[in-house]
Amino acid sequence: MSYEDGWAAVNLEMPPRVPHVEFDAETHWELVSTVTGIQVNAHSPDEVRREATRAFMIAWNYDISLSHDLCFEALDARRTRMGHAEYMAGGVDFDARIECPFDSPEDALALDPWKEYGTRDKAQLIEMFNNGFRSRCEWMPHVVNMTGTYVTIFSGLIAVFGWEMLLTAGGLDPEGMGEVANRYASWMQQFYNALAECESPLIYSHDDIVWTRGPVFHPDWYRKYIFPNYRKLYAPAIEAGKKVIFVSDGNYNEFIDDIAATGAAGFFFEPLTDLRHIVEHYGKTHIIVGNADTHVLLSGTKQQIRAEVERCMTLGRNCPGYFMSVTNMIPYNTPVENALYYYQCYEELSRR
């Protein structure tokens, strides 16, 4: 791993090797044990899991860590619980709690985030983001670290309302839901203002704005209520010289140019979003993370795994800010031998 290579890529300076990052591979405990020799599982003590995760990230040459310090807990005063299927090893993330605190679409459309979630002290927010950033730098100084938000606007609305209420209220009154988005963004501005003054040079801006097939609402709705708010949110950080990395699951091909126009310096995206298009239009000007398909690692042959790595590396190799990654995660049910072969292929092809 190399902070130098990661930092060079962040600054579009074309490091001698294509840098690398993964997501959730460091909690695939069977893989972690195989790579590090540390016997660990989902129920191991925290300190053992932490040591093993760090050792794995070093062994697998992570160059950057995309992280945030503002998530669902900021909305706990009033948010929907949608439950959670088992994803992580040992089922530690399973949650059967399902409840919505909104009685009707009208109730949802009347949401005032300032009233529900409150004004935050700016100095305390800066301290929160700094503490998260500093702790990561101390724990893993060999990678480029950051802080940021998970619930920027659309993901915040999903967390607050849940899918059923969001789609019902938004379908009945798109403009009314747009005004909710505006009010939510105005509340979120206090966090982005703090991010502009924190120590992290990079800002993680997560917002799952689309599904696997594309936009949830009409594209015009996003262009009226989402992207103008991104520009407002990002402006203080950009003016402070920071780089914002936009992160979304799903297929956001239709919005790549819109996101670039907000001032975002980078894209994180799943295989559903077209790497070729981003490389052709933003390969020399933006940070790009992705976009190998986890399904290939899950059930593909060695030939298919190598072809997937070659696809990404062929497209990304000449982009100075490209990071190789399986950007829809390497979950614990991925065969260890497939994950190991994937990383072997990456290492073989990583030198420019």
Q: Where are the domains of the chain?
A: 68-291
Query: What is the model's pLDDT at position 328?
Result: 84
> In the chain, what percentage of residues exceed pLDDT 70?
95
Mean pLDDT computed over every residue of the chain: 95
Query: What is the model's pLDDT at position 63?
Result: 97
Q: Which two tokens stand for residue 275?
A: 């790497």
**Given a cut of 90, is residue 95 above it in pLDDT?**
no
Count the helices and strands in the chain (H runs, E runs). 15, 10
Query: What is the model's pLDDT at position 107?
Result: 97
CATH number, span 68-291: 3.20.20.210
* Average pLDDT of span 204-219: 96
Q: Nearest 5°: phi and psi at 312?
A: -65, -45
DSSP 8-class letter at 199: S
The confidence band for 2, taking pLDDT boundaries of 50, 70 and 90, is confident
**Given a cut of 60, is residue 85 above it in pLDDT?**
no
Query: What is the model's pLDDT at position 91?
Result: 67
* Average pLDDT of span 168-186: 98
The confidence band for 83, taking pLDDT boundaries of 50, 70 and 90, is low
Query: What is the model's pLDDT at position 92?
Result: 62
* Average pLDDT of span 146-157: 98
* Average pLDDT of span 155-182: 97
The confidence band for 88, taking pLDDT boundaries of 50, 70 and 90, is low
| 323 or 98, greater pLDDT | 323
DSSP 8-class letter at 280: H
Q: What angle do CA 118, 122, 126 make, to 5 degrees?
A: 120
> In the chain, what percentage of residues exceed pLDDT 90?
92
Long-range contacts of 222-227 (CB under 8 A, 24+ apart): 222/255, 222/258, 223/258, 224/178, 225/177, 225/178, 225/181, 225/182, 226/153, 226/154, 226/181, 227/255, 227/258, 227/259, 227/261, 227/262
> How many other CB atoms are found less than 10 A from the CB of residue 297?
25
Query: What is the model's pLDDT at position 93?
Result: 59
The confidence band for 180, taking pLDDT boundaries of 50, 70 and 90, is very high
Query: Using an 8 Å Cβ cutoff, are 129 and 194 in contact?
Result: yes
Query: What is the model's pLDDT at position 81?
Result: 78
The confidence band for 99, taking pLDDT boundaries of 50, 70 and 90, is confident
Find the length of the chain.
352
The confidence band for 87, taking pLDDT boundaries of 50, 70 and 90, is low
What ranges make up the beta strands (E) of the chain?
81-84, 95-99, 147-149, 202-206, 210-211, 214-215, 243-248, 266-269, 287-289, 322-323
The confidence band for 101, taking pLDDT boundaries of 50, 70 and 90, is very high
Query: What is the model's pLDDT at position 337?
Result: 98
DSSP 8-class letter at 153: S
**CA–CA distance from 59 to each of 117, 244, 286, 323 (Å)?**
42, 28, 27, 17
**CA–CA distance from 86 to each of 89, 91, 296 (Å)?**
8, 5, 21
* Average pLDDT of span 322-347: 96
In this structure, of 172-176, 200-204, 325-329, the range with the lowest mean pLDDT score is 325-329
